[in-house]
Amino acid sequence: MIDLAGKKAVILGGRTGLLGQSLTEKLQDHKVITVPLSRKDFDPSNMDSLAALLERENPDFIFNTVAYTMVDQAEDEENNAHLLNTTLPVTIGRLAKQCNCKLIHYSTDFVFDGKKDSPYTEEDKTNPQSVYGSTKLDGEEKLLDLNYDNILIIRTAWLFGPNKTNFVHKILNFARERESLSVVHDQTGSPTYTPDLAEYTIALIKNEAAGVFNVVNSGKASWCELATEAVNCSAINCRVDAVPTSAYPTKAKRPPYSVLDTSKFTEVTGITPRPWVQAMRDYIYNDLKNHPEDR
């Protein structure tokens, strides 16, 4: 097991990103020296500026949480999505290889088409249905093509957590203002709490894991079930109605089923991810309660 205390980590997206901020906090808990960066600190299209930054910081680890995550908008902005989801990770991968540091990169359940009805393993066939999903998959594949052993790619899904708005946060704000909400019930996935994902990432690093891993909380839900649980847990008096995807046509096609199997993660770390329902209680009872300004 690697001892992380005193090691240095550059976290792209660590200052403003949903996952990046949780990663920064958890790494600091593990006594890692953190360099969280936002879009003000680097230009994703400029390899020289990234190279200079990494040379200056000389980190042991680079975490890349930067991504073009606006799934529908990506359909109209393929070039921007490609830049952030494919070109940027590969650039960082090359630089990590040059400076012999470990790269931890995040990917998505949207690399799958959702036609399965049992959890997707790392070995399952990918078939993205959207620009977001294809550009993220290209990023994964081109990183693996670098043939550098020190790359960890984590596929995750349906993130919620402190410090930045997210699906659960938005639902709770709507629910406080309305008598009822209609939420899609025919897409099922793996809701995941960002502080848990950060802690599980650290466990993989400590175990020197490399390659592709699924990392999500356990359990599954539809968007409607996730919203219902959040509203009930917050004791808000708002009815949540289940509707089909066809009630809210979107530009990008989403997988109807994208639950991720985490057996490989458990095999390597000995950890079984806790249920998302339990993590949601931490989010609502601790994060949102202690930081009402985040509401």
Ligand X SMILES: NC(=O)c1ccc[n+]([C@@H]2O[C@H](COP(=O)([O-])OP(=O)(O)OC[C@H]3O[C@@H](n4cnc5c(N)ncnc54)[C@H](OP(=O)(O)O)[C@@H]3O)[C@@H](O)[C@H]2O)c1
CB nearer to ligand X: pick between 37 and 284: 37
Q: How far is the CB of 67 from ligand X (least distance, A)?
A: 4
Has 132 been annotated as catalytic?
A: yes
Q: How far apart are the first and last CA of the chain?
A: 39
Cα distances from 83 to residues 19, 59, 103, 267, 273, in angstroms, run 20, 23, 18, 34, 32
221 DSSP 8-state letter: E
By the 10 Å C-beta count (0-12 exposed, 13-18 middle, 19+ buried), 97 is classed as middle
Q: How far is the CB of 269 from ligand X (least distance, A)?
A: 19
Token digits for 36? 């969280």
Q: How far is the CB of 216 from ligand X (least distance, A)?
A: 9
Active-site residue identified among 106, 132, 193, 257: 132
CB nearer to ligand X: pick between 59 and 255: 255
Task: Report the alpha-carbon distance of residue 200 to residue 271 in Å, rounded.
Answer: 8
Q: Are 28 and 4 in contact (CB under 8 A)?
A: no
CB nearer to ligand X: pick between 60 and 109: 109
CB nearer to ligand X: pick between 169 and 264: 169
Q: How far is the CB of 128 from ligand X (least distance, A)?
A: 12
Residues in touch with ligand X (CB under 6 A):
13, 16-20, 38-39, 44, 65-67, 69, 84, 106, 108, 136, 156-159, 164
Q: Which residues pair with 107 in a beta bridge?
A: 155
Burial 98-120 (b: 16+ CB within 10 A, else e): eeebbbbbbbbbbbbbbebeebb
Active site residues: 132
